[in-house]
Amino acid sequence: MYKIFASIFATILISALLVPVVRQLAFRVGAVDKPNARRVNKKTMPTMGGLAIFIAFNFTNFVLLHGQYPMRMMIALFIAQCIVLITGIIDDIYELKPFQKLIGLTTAALVVYYVAHVRMTTLTIPFAGTVKLGLLSLPITLVWILAITNAINLIDGLDGLATGIAIIALTTSALTGYFFLNVTNTFISLMIATLVAALIGFLPYNFHPATIYLGDTGSLFIGFMISVFALFGLKNATFISIIIPVIILGVPITDTVFAIIRRALNKKPIMKPDKHHLHHRLMQMGLSHRQTVLVIYGIALIFSFISLLYPISNIFGSLLLTIATLLGLEIFVELIGLVGGNHQPLLNLIKRIVLKSSEHKNGKE
């Protein structure tokens, strides 16, 4: 146990020491983020910060914690990580087109599926029983990996935002996986702890005012690893095992889903970026950069707390919890205008009900 704690602490130090080196490298190779209409930075910033996280994470797993993991699976995951990392580095330097990034991420996902053998195989549906996915296993696994990876990538819009959310989500995932979901591969919790340590070492450089960004190198890598870690608890998926990681990742998933809805309603290309994401809306409402990040951290913590209620609830309690979460989320989304100021169906319905109730009460009087 001492070796594990010492290795986790060493991961934080290694990550922190690597960041200045990666920062200089980013400037040298041209992995920089220049100010433009969509960016919040006012000066040219180095990206590619995820490289420090990747090195610290894998150094600890392959050297400091050697023997703690099944080596064949680790090598397969490392190959997949390298594909994602290279995709991110190339994008940070040359800016890839969306379909080009998709090719890289899909290739990495296929390595996870066919070489690491990490995949969804069955799905247990409440009141219906267990269904073998069969040929659907591959597309469902790929969609899961690509969706979660891109969700983390999209939320990376402010200093420390994606890094902090990932720390919260991964920590919650480790706790639920180890204590509640009966994930037989307990080494997954150790791998998650190692990644959290690498992120903690990076966060001081990335928090506002940041001196380096994650870049696609980091956001794609982190999102990819989060999606893969979740798959270990989803091999034999149930309603609970699926809903927990979705709730844990409530912030990036919400932002992604409503970005798609917003662009569809406004008849704009789904892949076209805009300045109406969650963090943009909060800043447009008057919050400062730092306040916006801290508020979203708070929202992420609320989602994490909700996720911890599922393992101790029965199926009916879980369904009610899900409905309540969705209703609360919709009200919040409409209040801040995440889809658009005029799109408030639930709030308008509540107003009509309250108005009719008031008119009925006044009529009786």
Distance (Å, whole) CA 250 – CA 253: 5
The residue assigned the tokens 């983020």 is 33
58 is in an annotated binding site: no
153 is in an annotated binding site: yes
The residue assigned the tokens 């690491």 is 116
DSSP SS3 for 276: coil
DSSP SS3 for 238: strand
The pair of three-digit structure tokens given for residue 144, joined into one six-digit string = 């899961």
Beta bridge mates, 129: 125
Long-range pairs of 58-63 with CB within 8 A, sequence gap ≥ 24: 59/11, 59/14, 60/7, 60/8, 60/10, 60/11, 60/14, 60/194, 60/197, 60/198, 61/191, 61/194
Contact between 105 and 224 (Cβ < 8 Å): yes
Pick out the residues of the known binding site for Mg(2+): 153, 216
Pick out the residues of the known binding site: 153, 216
